[in-house]
């Protein structure tokens, strides 16, 4: 059962396209993007939270938040 869940999660992550909307903290110190606004990592943002495409986030050299794995 655990293998099925892990494979399912992996397929979901790999199927995320560049035009998927993600959330980023509008700070020059931001390092990650997030799939949900409720992510633990983005809740620490003290700046505006922006909704952008995954492609835009990657172009800003942001990585997927470690809490999202």
pLDDT tens per residue across span 15-57: 567 889 999 999 999 999 999 999 999 999 999 999 999 999 9
Confidence of residue 6 (pLDDT cuts 50, 70, 90): low
On whether residue 11 sits in a domain, the answer given is: no
On whether residue 47 sits in a domain, the answer given is: yes
On whether residue 1 sits in a domain, the answer given is: no
On whether residue 12 sits in a domain, the answer given is: no
35 contacts: CB under 8 Å, gap ≥ 6:
16, 20, 22, 23, 68
Count of positions (residues) in the chain: 69
On whether residue 10 sits in a domain, the answer given is: no
Which domain covers residue 42, as residue numbers? Answer: 17-68
Using DSSP's 3-state secondary structure scheme, residue 21 falls into strand
Q: Give, rounded to a whole angstrom, the gap between the first and last alpha carbons of the chain.
A: 19
Structurally, how many domains does the chain consist of?
1
| CA–CA distances in Å: residue 35 to residues 1, 2, 3, 17, 31 | 25, 23, 23, 12, 14
């Amino acid at each position: 059962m655990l293998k099925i869940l892990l494979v399912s999660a992996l397929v979901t992550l790999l199927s995320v396209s560049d035009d998927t909307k993600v959330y980023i903290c509008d700070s020059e110190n931001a390092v990650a993007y997030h799939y949900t606004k409720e992510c633990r990592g983005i809740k620490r943002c003290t700046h505006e939270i922006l909704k952008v495409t995954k492609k835009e986030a990657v172009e800003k050299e942001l990585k997927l938040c470690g809490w999202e794995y």
